[in-house]
């Protein structure tokens, strides 16, 4: 196989972990990063242009033929589509499906279409507490709150004035995340993690495992029916409530903490997994 000139896009610890893992891949010819991660043999690609099309053209000048997008902001702005249109393969969710992360309302409608369980949206006058208020846009996610009384609700409503939002039922239970990677119509689901502490060993009951597999099958089915045609990762945050998993939200990338843990435990070439959908081989603990 022809070796790849690869660019890892982003500046977080998650992208650093990805770049470090890929730096040793036998499939990589030259590795470029957009941040100085102090990785041996990696070259820093400083692109000052804010226009993604100009950035893609600059990447072509460096001979880059694959870019891996880590940061969600670039994904939300359609960078994946733009780079592909300029002839550069890209790992990242395309602009259409990035709405699963950028718009909670879009995500709710998607889940409801396919019978994926998620906390129920309630009328604005819903008076049972606690309850959750969520801004639709990822830009306003800092305004999302658990509300415990009417006074807190009134204050939250003032903060969200003139913004799209909804009220959601409050659920309690164990929270996990699972990262799903789609390439060429094939899915790879990595091991799930404890959301608040990804490095903590996760022990699921047989029923929890069964219900998680049912959710993942529904998720696959939904994306395939919607003609998802990207090569990228979506991380699902779930909560175990009563006897089933409910989706709290989607993140349209490898979750930062999760990817660091994933890469610590994978024993085969991560780039081969990304390009060819090869099944991950986990190290024996």
pLDDT digit string, tens, across residues 123-136? 999 999 999 999 99
- Of the candidates 58, 64, 11, 54, the one whose C-alpha atom is nearest the C-alpha of residue 35 is 11
Residue spans per domain, the chain: 4-92, 98-116+172-276, 121-169
User: What per-residue confidence (pLDDT) applies to 200?
Assistant: 85
Whether residue 50 has pLDDT greater than 80: no
Architecture of domain 98-116+172-276: 2-Layer Sandwich (3.30)
Class of domain 4-92 (CATH, top level): alpha beta
pLDDT at 89: 96
Q: Residue 122: what pLDDT?
A: 98
Which segment of 26-35, 237-246, 253-262 scores lowest on mean pLDDT?
A: 253-262
Is-contact 98 252, C-beta < 8 A?
A: yes
Adjacent-strand bridge partners of 137:
103
Please say whether the dihedral angle defined by the alpha carbons of residues 216, 285, 241 and 257, taken in this order, is positive or negative.
negative
Q: How much of the chain exceeds pLDDT 70, in percent?
A: 99
Per-residue pLDDT tens digits for 222-234? 999 999 999 999 9
pLDDT of residue 285: 59
pLDDT band at 51 (very low <50, low <70, confident <90, very high): confident
Give the Å distances, CA to CA, from 53 to 5, 35, 57, 68, 75. 19, 19, 6, 16, 13
Please tell me the pTM assigned to this model. 0.95
Q: What's the Rg (C-alpha) of the chain?
A: 20
Instruction: Please check whether residue 236 is in contact with residue 250, taking contact to mean a CB–CB distance below 8 angstroms.
Output: yes
Backbone angles phi, psi at 275, to 5 degrees: -80, -45
Q: Mean pLDDT across the stretch 80-98?
A: 96
Strand positions, DSSP E, the chain: 4-9, 28-33, 42-44, 66-69, 89-91, 121-122, 131-135, 145-147, 165-169, 175-183, 186-189, 193-194, 232-241, 244-251
Residue with tokens 């490898």: 254
Same fold, 4-92 and 98-116+172-276: no
Q: Select the more confidently predicted residue: 11 or 106.
A: 106
Helices (H), ranges, 89-247: 95-102, 104-113, 150-159, 206-225
Q: Which residue has the tokens 């950028």?
A: 102
pLDDT at position 1:
61
What per-residue confidence (pLDDT) applies to 48? 64
State the chain's mean pLDDT as an integer.
Answer: 94
Query: Is the separation of the CB atoms in 175 and 238 below 8 Å?
Result: yes
């Amino acid at each position: 196989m022809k070796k790849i000139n690869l660019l890892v896009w982003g500046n977080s610890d998650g992208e650093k972990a990805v770049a470090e893992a890929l730096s040793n891949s036998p499939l990589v010819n030259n590795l470029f990063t957009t941040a100085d991660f102090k990785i041996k043999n990696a070259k820093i690609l400083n692109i000052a242009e804010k226009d993604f099309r100009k950035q893609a053209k600059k990447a072509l000048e460096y001979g880059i033929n694959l870019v891996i997008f880590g940061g969600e902001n670039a994904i939300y702005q359609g960078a994946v589509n733009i780079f592909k249109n300029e002839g550069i393969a890209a790992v990242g969710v395309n602009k259409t499906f990035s709405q699963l992360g950028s718009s909670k309302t879009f995500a709710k409608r998607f889940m409801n279409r396919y019978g994926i369980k998620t906390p129920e949206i309630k009328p604005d006058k819903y008076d049972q507490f606690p309850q959750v208020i969520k801004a639709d846009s990822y830009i306003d996610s800092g305004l999302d709150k658990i509300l415990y009384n009417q006074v807190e609700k009134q204050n939250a409503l003032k903060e969200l004035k003139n913004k799209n939002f909804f009220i959601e039922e409050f659920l309690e239970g164990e929270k996990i995340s699972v990262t799903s990677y789609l390439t060429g119509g094939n899915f790879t689901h990595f091991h799930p993690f404890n959301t608040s502490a990804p490095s903590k060993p996760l022990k699921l009951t047989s029923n929890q495992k069964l219900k998680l597999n049912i959710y993942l099958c529904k998720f696959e089915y939904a994306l395939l029916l919607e003609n998802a045609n990207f090569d990228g990762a979506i991380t699902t945050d779930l909560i175990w409530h009563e006897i089933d998993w409910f989706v709290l939200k989607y993140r349209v990338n490898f979750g930062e903490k999760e990817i660091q843990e994933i890469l610590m435990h994978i024993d085969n070439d991560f780039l081969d997994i990304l390009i060819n959908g090869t099944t991950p081989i986990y190290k024996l603990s």
